[in-house]
């Protein structure tokens, strides 16, 4: 059954496929395949790429949501 376009997404068998998500999944699959799907080696490679990255990487603290009091 061929897919049809709906706002840039392809729908097949009732499942909506986003082309950008599919592209990222394909890149991730190819990267994992290079390391025979060995998670330890995949993570090691990604850490090495992080070290070579010229921009500073930053981990931001979590944002907390304050609950309001009163009636709902």
Dump pLDDT digits (tens) for 26-35.
999 999 999 9
23-64 pLDDT per residue, tens: 999 999 999 999 999 999 999 999 998 888 777 767 889 888
The tally of domains found in the chain comes to 1
Question: Which pTM value belongs to this model?
Answer: 0.54
The boundaries of the domain holding residue 20 are 4-52
C-alpha span between 19 and 47 (Å, rounded): 27
63 inside domain = no
38 inside domain = yes
Q: What angle do CA 19, 14, 27 make, to 5 degrees?
A: 25
66 inside domain = no
18 inside domain = yes
């Amino acid at each position: 059954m061929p897919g049809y376009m709906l706002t840039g997404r392809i729908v097949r068998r009732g499942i909506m496929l986003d082309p950008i998500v599919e592209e990222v999944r394909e890149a991730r699959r190819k990267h994992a395949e290079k390391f025979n799907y060995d998670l330890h080696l995949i993570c090691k490679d990604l850490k090495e790429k992080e070290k070579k990255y010229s921009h500073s990487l930053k981990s931001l603290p979590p944002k907390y949501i304050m609950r309001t009091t009163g009636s709902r």
